[in-house]
Structure 1
Amino acid sequence: MKGLYLVEPLVAFYSFASFLVYPLIQQYVYRRLWQELTNTTYPVSDNTSRCDPSNTSSHHEEVQKAASLFSLYTELFSMIPSLAVTLILVAYSDQRGRKITIILPLIGSLFYALSFLAVSFFELDLYLLIVSTFISALFGGSGTFLGGCFSYIADLCEDGQQKTLRMAGVDMVIGLLSGVASLSTGYFLQAAGFNWPFFTSALFQCFNLLYAVFILEETLQRPPDDPLDGSPRRTAMRQLACGVYQLFAGASRRRNILLVLLLLLFSSFSFANMGGLSMITLYELNQPLCWTEILIGYGSALSTTVFLTSFVGVTVFSRCGVPDLVIILMGILSVMAGMTLVAFAKTTLMMFLVRLPMLLAIMPFPVLRSMMSKIVSKNEQGVWGCWEWKKVKKPRRRRPSSLERKVSLGTRTTILPSPETGGLEWEDWKPCVGFECYRKMDKH
């Protein structure tokens, strides 16, 4: 049977399956810890009963502290191995094909969903989820999968307009199905409990894996191995290591210090921003809000609007000539204001309104990448592709490598490049949201 060159079904089912589970993970952990620490049944029918001030046996702070530590351990055991595996896979896929960056993350996602289903159904030890998170991260993360899909499309489309239209369709599929899944999680949980959402997610991931293995065709032909040059994997990793070394070896001390400072600023802001957002669900579950699963679903869906508003903010401020440092400062202040108001939000209405000050929270990411790109020489942009792109003025068109397209997704941060000030036309470097960036990258 002849295969297909369509990754759109993969992206659609992956987005729905992933966002069907993500809002439920912290809720499940919170409920299990509630039962273990309080020796009482979690009040599913009426969440406000556990927040009754007269209930002296409640241990809200103890449960919230344990859930926060559990979330921290989970993130650490997933982020670090996932990023390392992503670097290896994207270097390997340039020589051995794109499907490996699609199939392996699907295996990890399927294992992740089945692990949650097993722990939920058989009521196994809760900390087995941390082990399953680490094992699934060894297969790559969502950044590896989505980056592989966009590299797959870039390999197929030679015409720029066709590539733009097809990637725009994939972009639309991601936004539509992730939003639908986030909105439906609360109703699904209320009607069927945790087991059925986890089973549904695992079913979609299993279908995805079968499609990727047996139906999806490979876009790159595997080159013959050169016995004199060592194994292809060793060659790819050697090229990656040499590129990272050259990034710092041939520059002045002042430039390296500036680059390290920008990297530290980017990393610390990313840690504070994404880490703070992950704690919002725990705050919504606890006093004084005591949100139900339906309200949490609506809040998660509303939080996705920050990517659109940050795109508008970067666009407007860049056109008005606002300095980069001012844009970064506005984004940092946006996060600070939003997180501060979250701490004082005591009602449901206020908790929804605190999303307003955070509408510009993603703006520092593109500007910091742009600043780092400006201090890196043009012949180092291939290694630096995980942070930013810079146009190289050559008459020959060059297809970007998968490393340049995909590594930045491993940080789980949406990329919004801002226009370069030295030599690029505005139409080539309009700020972009999410995977729109890859369409602009593929032009050069």
Structure 2
Amino acid sequence: MDERDTAAILPDVDDELNAPSTDDETTGNKEEADATVPTSRSVRPPLRCSLPVSVEPVLFLSMFSLALQAPLSTQYLWDRISEDLGYNGSERAECSNGSVPPDPLQTEVETLTAHWNLYISLGGFSLGLLVVPFLGSWSDLVGRRPVLIIPNIGLALQALVYILVMYLKLPVVYFLVGRLLSGLSGDFNAILAGCFAYVADTSDRRSRTFRVAILEACLGLSGMLASIIGGQWRRAQGYINPFWLALATNLASALYAYLFVHESVRPDPSAKLLTSRHHKAAWHLFSTGGTTSEMGGRLHRSKLWLYTLCFFVVVTVHMGSRELFVLYELSSPLCWGPALIGYGSAAQHLAYLSSLLGLKIMQRCLEDSWVAVVGLASNIIGLVVVSIADTTQLMFTGYGLCFLSMAATPVLRSKLSKLVGPSEQGVLFACVACVESLCFLVGSGVFNSLYPATLHYMKGFPFLFAAIILLIPAGIIGLLQCLDRRRDHRDATAS
């Protein structure tokens, strides 16, 4: 008997208590009941981590490794391609002089680096797009810990391949081999799926948005530290030693998950990884609205799709534009060195922490939807400033204006989680992880192609484009909130 069959014979009252609501806010006795009952699978024992933290260190260490590698690998590609083409433009005095016409050789280096970033990203994330749904849905049956361990081992193998490329001066195409190994193991998106599903397993509806925001703050804190350390370390000792640290942190993350993370799902020994059941569960969730679709009918299913679309657009902008920041900073008129690039990357990741604080404050007087809209407005304004930045001061001003830019994603994850039943949390976050993989693919493809194509007339156009398309999720979230408020007012008036 599988878990779904077991869940079907449990008392109806348990399902009634755990049933999610299509609205974000509930009142009276229902709110108190939801706040005290974790939305975990009905067959899941109430396992709680005895430590003050659960999966936060796993996400922190994994993100530290990723944030340490990402800007350094782009800089390494820039240096290797520059060396092959005989370009040393960053050392020229006129590099920061905006009146000097762009060097054709610099444009070629920028274009090749952007294209190699695209190829490497596409290789890894295309495999992850296939593997992550299997791992995410599989974790709903066998537990979250395997999905936290396996991808970290794959990321460690990727770091090892990168080290070999640097030691032996191998062609940069071998970077693609490392990304493929990581993609086969689920990549970082599988870790995200496991961690957020774990939080959904062990949190109640009232606290879930903030718990998700804490996880995202872990992303920001680790990314900020890794960016500062990576920039200074690369300037002092080159590229190889920081990648050894990335390798060690991935192994430490896997070891922590194995030793200390308490399982939140009762494992099913008969569960299989390679089965069509995982994709069928995902199809059922989005085609019918899941087991709770009868509560809201077509509107319920529409909200599931619309919030997923908003999440897709927001994450695509975040990931796509982030890959261009290093290129934008390396070239004229900014011409930043490793230290400034590290500080710039740290400023980007600081938005995770400031968004967490802002979300906590704004939740006192605003509903979650309006918190997300404010976060998107902050992101839009910051990207517009970055698009015209031609000095270091203006660039950091753009980063500063993005201080609430990460407030939207935890709200959207929480909204999606509240739209599905307790037995569908794992399937949902498998789908969200799949969407994130698609975001990496689309973001890398669009922005790495758009950047070299617009160099000649507006270097910052991709950031302006990103700001414009963020108006789409802001409008959708605001519209859905207004419709919910109108429906609640109509129901209250009718009663």
* Paired residues of 1:78 and 1:134 also in contact (CA < 8 A): yes
* Paired residues of 2:358 and 2:404 also in contact (CA < 8 A): yes
Change (3 A) 1:118 1:313: same
User: Which of 239, 250, 261 is the matching residue for 2:281?
Assistant: 239
Equivalent residues, number: 393
After TM superposition, give the deviation of residue 290 of structure 1 in Å.
0.7
Corresponding residue of 2:189: 143
Does 1 or 2 have the higher relative contact order (CA < 8 Å, sep 6+)? 2
Secondary structure of 2:418's counterpart equals coil
Secondary structure of 1:345's counterpart equals coil
Give the Cα–Cα distance (whole angstroms) in 1 for the partners of residues 216 and 402 of structure 2: 23
Give the Cα–Cα distance (whole angstroms) in 1 for the partners of residues 351 and 257 of structure 2: 32
Corresponding residue of 2:74: 26
Corresponding residue of 1:383: none
Corresponding residue of 2:493: none
Corresponding residue of 1:182: 227
Change (3 A) 1:35 1:100: same
Give the Cα–Cα distance (whole angstroms) in 1 for the partners of residues 379 and 226 of structure 2: 26
Give the Cα–Cα distance (whole angstroms) in 1 for the partners of residues 243 and 204 of structure 2: 40
After TM superposition, give the deviation of residue 77 of structure 1 in Å.
3.0
Give the Cα–Cα distance (whole angstroms) in 1 for the partners of residues 159 and 265 of structure 2: 30
Give the Cα–Cα distance (whole angstroms) in 2 for the partners of residues 369 and 217 of structure 1: 23
Structural mapping, 1:67-78, within 5 Å? 67-78=113-124
User: Which of 386, 410, 418 is the matching residue for 1:389?
Assistant: 418
Give the Cα–Cα distance (whole angstroms) in 1 for the partners of residues 409 and 196 of structure 2: 21
Give the Cα–Cα distance (whole angstroms) in 2 for the partners of residues 286 and 185 of structure 1: 19
Change (3 A) 1:334 1:60: farther
Structural mapping, 1:36-435, within 5 Å? 36-37=84-85, 39-40=86-87, 42=88, 47=91, 49=93, 51=95, 59-149=105-195, 151=197, 175-210=220-255, 212=257, 220-223=265-268, 225=270, 233-247=275-289, 264=309, 266-310=311-355, 328=373, 334-362=378-406, 365=409, 387-390=416-419, 398=422, 401-405=425-429, 407-409=431-433, 411=436
Give the Cα–Cα distance (whole angstroms) in 1 for the partners of residues 213 and 304 of structure 2: 33
Percent identity over the alignment is 27
Runs of 5+ unmatched residues, structure 2: 1-49, 440-473, 487-495
Corresponding residue of 2:9: none
Offset from partner CA, 1:96-122 (integer Å, 9 cap, x none): 232220122112201211121111111
Give the Cα–Cα distance (whole angstroms) in 1 for the partners of residues 300 and 261 of structure 2: 45
* Paired residues of 2:209 and 2:411 also in contact (CA < 8 A): no
Runs of 5+ unmatched residues, structure 1: 374-386, 393-397, 424-444
Which one-letter code corresponds to 1:202 in the other structure? L
After TM superposition, give the deviation of residue 243 of structure 1 in Å.
2.7
Give the Cα–Cα distance (whole angstroms) in 2 for the partners of residues 326 and 152 of structure 1: 24
Offset from partner CA, 1:55-107 (integer Å, 9 cap, x none): 99772211112222222333333334324322211211122232220122112
Give the Cα–Cα distance (whole angstroms) in 2 for the partners of residues 273 and 64 of structure 1: 20
Change (3 A) 1:13 1:341: closer
Corresponding residue of 1:428: none
Give the Cα–Cα distance (whole angstroms) in 1 for the partners of residues 352 and 162 of structure 2: 29
Change (3 A) 1:48 1:183: farther
More helix, by proportion? 2
* Paired residues of 1:90 and 1:101 also in contact (CA < 8 A): yes
Which stretch shows the higher mean deviation, 124-133 or 284-293?
Answer: 124-133
Change (3 A) 1:292 1:99: same
Give the Cα–Cα distance (whole angstroms) in 1 for the partners of residues 204 and 277 of structure 2: 31
After TM superposition, give the deviation of residue 187 of structure 1 in Å.
1.1
After TM superposition, give the deviation of residue 295 of structure 1 in Å.
0.7
After TM superposition, give the deviation of residue 390 of structure 1 in Å.
3.6
Which stretch shows the higher mean deviation, 100-109 or 258-267?
Answer: 258-267
After TM superposition, give the deviation of residue 220 of structure 1 in Å.
4.6
Give the Cα–Cα distance (whole angstroms) in 1 for the partners of residues 354 and 378 of structure 2: 12
Change (3 A) 1:219 1:195: same
